[in-house]
Chains A and B, each alone.
Chain A
Amino acid sequence: MSETYDFLFKFLVIGSAGTGKSCLLHQFIENKFKQDSNHTIGVEFGSRVVNVGGKTVKLQIWDTAGQERFRSVTRSYYRGAAGALLVYDITSRETYNALTNWLTDARTLASPNIVIILCGNKKDLDADREVTFLEASRFAQENELMFLETSALTGENVEEGFLKCARTILNKIDSGELDPERMGSGIQYGDASLRQLRQPRGSTAQNKQQCSC
């Protein structure tokens, strides 16, 4: 049985090793913290269908290996991503300092219009904080990123991160800024929207879609 959704978005989770990328994904998909998280080799997948602004969106999330030496490999998985969570660890300045590199990779290798949200993870470890909220939000502003501090442990802001990213993409589709049909957009129409597209004009009325014109 295939799921019904309006859109499928390809998402990336990127950032340095040990920042909690896989745990963020696990928390988002399973709603719990992954205790014995294994290092990601290459790439792992997760997906979840979410409801954003009246549309059902399937997020196909690619969780990548963070260690520097594997970057040449993980980069090849970037192509055609619509959104990305760029993750650093608020208790590790090193992971914060590496953000520029990750950002450059994402902007050059994935879709040029990729929507990126910066996630300062391990928010629960505030006592060990090395990167202030203010500093990171300034960085986000300068680089046109959305920004949240998250905790994969408590789940705080995890769902928000993914949803915010998805919502922004949807808005860009609505405004025409993003064209889902463009090759490499990282966006696909799902069954639901295809059905709507195929429906004869007259029958769309019964869908009660307000101002979809």
Chain B
Amino acid sequence: MGLTHLWFFQLIFEKEGVYLHTNAKKMLQDTTLPGFIRVVERAGVPALEWSPLEDEGRSAPAVLYSKKDGEEGEDDTKFDPGYEPDWAVISTVKKDQQAAVKDSGQWSFSLPLSELYSLRRARFSLGRNFLVLTSRGGHPLPPLHFHRGGTRELLRALQRYIILDQSPMDGRLFLAYPHDSGALSQSFDKLQLMDDGGSDLVSRFIQDPYATTFGGFSKVTNFFKAALRPPDSTGGSRACRDPGLPPQADDEPGFELITCGVELGPRPDVCRGPPLDRWEEFLDPEGRVKNPERIRDLVFRGGIAPPLRKELWKFLLGFYPWNSTAKEREDILRSKTDEYFRMKVQWKSVSYVQGMSDLLAPVLFVTQNEVESFWCLTGFMELVHQNFEESQEAMKQQLLQLSILLRALDPELCDFLDSQDSGSLCFCFRWLLIWFKREFSFEDILLLWEVLWTRLPCENFHLLIACSILESQRGELIGSDHDFNTILKHINELTMKLDVEEVLQGAEAIYLQLTRCQDLPLKVQQVLGLYSPPSPEGSPESQTGETDHVLDQSRRSVAGFRPPPPPGPPPGPPDLP
């Protein structure tokens, strides 16, 4: 290595066993690279750096910290406020910077701390902590998984240079602020002394100092911006992510929504059941449904056998009350038939909105009857009519709710979508408008809809279905070269390629995972219908209790007909010492 680029180098913090997830294009197969995370000062400019293990010896700064004691098995839960970090020594050495910054593999990075915008510390399903860093340019860096702990220590080290402000809405998210501008100008003085060895890094730093970017780029997401107002005509929102360009006026910081990054527990295993294929035994002698909840549970779990659909859909869609007798139902059918034909002669034109025929077709197919299909469709429209309203407010609301769920569930995927101007999730519009009608085969949609008509386990289960599908595509999306156009195209082209059972299974598992989370953000709870005003001793359990109970009930009732589901991972926080 040449000695032409000597830097004034200080190692502040170092931790090994930090794996970078490349999210390479391979489906479901992320590549993980072991390496080191470091906080360093290069010519007085503090930076956060990651370099792969394989580079060591060639480019790494000498390991100059002293350890207080063994580090293995450390975990956040051990942390108490009086804890002293296990890094201590700060040493000054001269170092071959060229190697460290340029040569250390394509995934290594060096991020000046002034470029750090936010940091989210979350826990993977295996209990490991991982960090997702966002630069001021808006680009998420590859997630870093701390297999041997050390995230809290790293935060401590960073706090020497920057303020990490914990989001009031989400304790896992930290926004980075400068301590003071004096320190900044000092850094700049030093920067002037450097040659252009790290010109890219340096020029970015100079062009993007706090003074100009702070606030201008202060957006984590652009939830819904695209849907609520026209994007600027030059594709500027993408351009403005380029750290080399000045912020656009359009980037008002008031429009941000920061949520989540919660530590979710493990996702439970979920088993679907067989379709409901018995009916008479659920009726009392007068023909009342003895236990409607049980029916609903069974339908949620496995759908309805085709021959029973015609009868059961009328209950699910409110044409027949569950507690009606067979005799009452005959009367209902008679009077509703009269009513239908009375109305029909009065109809001149019916206000029709695109998509409604999608809803009618399966209903007509199953009922095979004009009158019944009309009333069943009426029942269906009770659930979805807002989707078709002129204002489209309900659609906007649902896309927003979906993004709240997805951010809790998969912040990394959200960051990617945001980075490609797709944070509004407008590519899910068709899914939500007509309840996935065009995404699945006709036969599958019959099942999916009857599951949704049970309104179990929550009214927004269709949003969880959307999450389930989106998550199944994360491997294809993250780290790919998809842009706004190709993301939309890719999602659009999933039609008829999805497995309905897998999707339903995933959606329920997500529901259970979220509801079991101890510190689920309020917004997410609201979307899932879990939130009720806090009681004096309202524990998370008491909030999730009811819905879990419903599901437990359904699991128990199904257990009689099939083997019980395989035991999932134990509940509660994993891998506590």
Using a CB–CB distance below 8 Å, which chain A residues touch chain B?
A: 10, 17, 38-45, 60, 65-67, 69-70, 72-73, 75-77, 79-80, 105, 108-112, 183-184
Q: Roughly how many angstroms separate A131 CA and B111 CA in the complex, as a whole number?
A: 62
A110 touches B354 (CB 8 A): no
Q: Which residues of B contact A44 (CB under 8 A)?
A: 492
Q: Which residues of B contact A41 (CB under 8 A)?
A: 354-355, 358, 429-430, 433-434, 438
Q: Judge if B77 is at the interface, Cβ distance under 8 Å.
A: no
Q: Which residues of A contact B231 (CB under 8 A)?
A: 76, 79, 109
Question: Total interface residues on B, using CB and 8 Å?
Answer: 36
Using a CB–CB distance below 8 Å, which chain B residues touch chain A?
A: 226-227, 230-231, 233-236, 238-239, 353-355, 357-358, 388-392, 395, 421, 424, 426-427, 429-430, 433-434, 438, 484-485, 488-489, 492-493
Q: Which residues of A contact B230 (CB under 8 A)?
A: 75, 105, 108-109
A184 touches B234 (CB 8 A): yes
Q: What 5 A-B pairs have minimum CB-CB distances, sorted nearest first?
A: A184-B235, A39-B354, A42-B430, A41-B430, A76-B226
Q: Roughly how many angstroms separate A80 CA and B231 CA in the complex, as a whole number?
A: 10
Q: Roughly how many angstroms separate A111 CA and B232 CA in the complex, as a whole number?
A: 9
Assuming A80-B235, A183-B239, is B357 touching A39 (CB within 8 A)?
yes
Q: Roughly how many angstroms separate A105 CA and B488 CA in the complex, as a whole number?
A: 20
Q: Which residues of A contact B235 (CB under 8 A)?
A: 79-80, 183-184
Q: Which residues of B contact A40 (CB under 8 A)?
A: 354
Assuming A10-B485, A42-B430, is B233 touching A73 (CB within 8 A)?
no
Across the interface, name the chain B residue whose C-beta is closest to A41: B430
Nearest Cβ on chain A to B493's Cβ, whole angstroms: 7
Across the interface, name the chain B residue whose C-beta is closest to A183: B235
Please pick, from B357, B392, B421, B484, the residue contacting A73 in the complex, using a CB distance under 8 A.
B392
Q: Which residues of A contact B238 (CB under 8 A)?
A: 183-184
Nearest Cβ on chain A to B351's Cβ, whole angstroms: 11
B392 touches A45 (CB 8 A): no
A39 touches B355 (CB 8 A): yes
Extra contacts besides A109-B233, A111-B233, A184-B238 (7): CB < 8 Å = A39-B355, A40-B354, A42-B433, A76-B424, A79-B421, A109-B231, A183-B238
A79 touches B433 (CB 8 A): no
Assuming A183-B234, A184-B235, is B488 touching A77 (CB within 8 A)?
yes
B233 touches A112 (CB 8 A): yes
A73 touches B429 (CB 8 A): yes
Assuming A41-B434, A69-B392, is B492 touching A184 (CB within 8 A)?
no
Q: Which residues of A contact B438 (CB under 8 A)?
A: 41
B234 touches A69 (CB 8 A): no
Please pick, from A38, A45, A79, A183, the residue contacting B492 in the complex, using a CB distance under 8 A.
A45
Please pick, from A67, A73, A105, A109, the residue contacting B426 in the complex, using a CB distance under 8 A.
A73
Q: Roughly how many angstroms separate A119 CA and B6 CA in the complex, as a whole number?
A: 66
Q: Roughly how many angstroms separate A17 CA and B351 CA in the complex, as a whole number?
A: 14
Nearest Cβ on chain B to A23's Cβ, whole angstroms: 15
Nearest Cβ on chain A to B198's Cβ, whole angstroms: 27
Assuming A108-B233, A111-B233, A184-B233, is B390 touching A69 (CB within 8 A)?
yes
Across the interface, name the chain B residue whose C-beta is closest to A107: B233
B395 touches A45 (CB 8 A): no
Q: Which residues of A contact B234 (CB under 8 A)?
A: 112, 183-184
Across the interface, name the chain B residue whose C-beta is closest to A65: B354
Q: Roughly how many angstroms separate A44 CA and B354 CA in the complex, as a whole number?
A: 14
B429 touches A42 (CB 8 A): yes
Across the interface, name the chain B residue whose C-beta is closest to A8: B485
Nearest Cβ on chain B to A113's Cβ, whole angstroms: 10
B233 touches A72 (CB 8 A): no
Q: Which residues of B contact A39 (CB under 8 A)?
A: 354-355, 357-358
Nearest Cβ on chain A to B197's Cβ, whole angstroms: 29
Q: Roughly how many angstroms separate A70 CA and B427 CA in the complex, as a whole number?
A: 13
B484 touches A79 (CB 8 A): yes
A45 touches B226 (CB 8 A): no
Q: Roughly how many angstroms separate A184 CA and B483 CA in the complex, as a whole number?
A: 11
Q: Which residues of A contact B388 (CB under 8 A)?
A: 69
Across the interface, name the chain B residue whose C-beta is closest to A184: B235
A45 touches B430 (CB 8 A): no
> Could you list 24 examples of A-B contacts with CB < 8 Å?
A10-B485, A39-B355, A40-B354, A41-B355, A41-B430, A42-B427, A42-B429, A43-B492, A45-B489, A45-B493, A60-B489, A69-B388, A69-B391, A73-B395, A73-B426, A77-B426, A77-B488, A80-B485, A105-B230, A108-B230, A108-B233, A109-B231, A112-B234, A184-B238
Nearest Cβ on chain A to B242's Cβ, whole angstroms: 9
Q: Roughly how many angstroms separate A112 CA and B233 CA in the complex, as a whole number?
A: 6
Nearest Cβ on chain B to A72's Cβ, whole angstroms: 6
A76 touches B227 (CB 8 A): yes
Across the interface, name the chain B residue whose C-beta is closest to A113: B233
Q: Which residues of B contact A75 (CB under 8 A)?
A: 230
Q: Roughly how many angstroms separate A44 CA and B421 CA in the complex, as a whole number?
A: 19
Nearest Cβ on chain A to B228's Cβ, whole angstroms: 8
Q: Which residues of A contact B421 (CB under 8 A)?
A: 79
B354 touches A70 (CB 8 A): yes
Nearest Cβ on chain A to B423's Cβ, whole angstroms: 11
Q: Which residues of B contact A108 (CB under 8 A)?
A: 230, 233
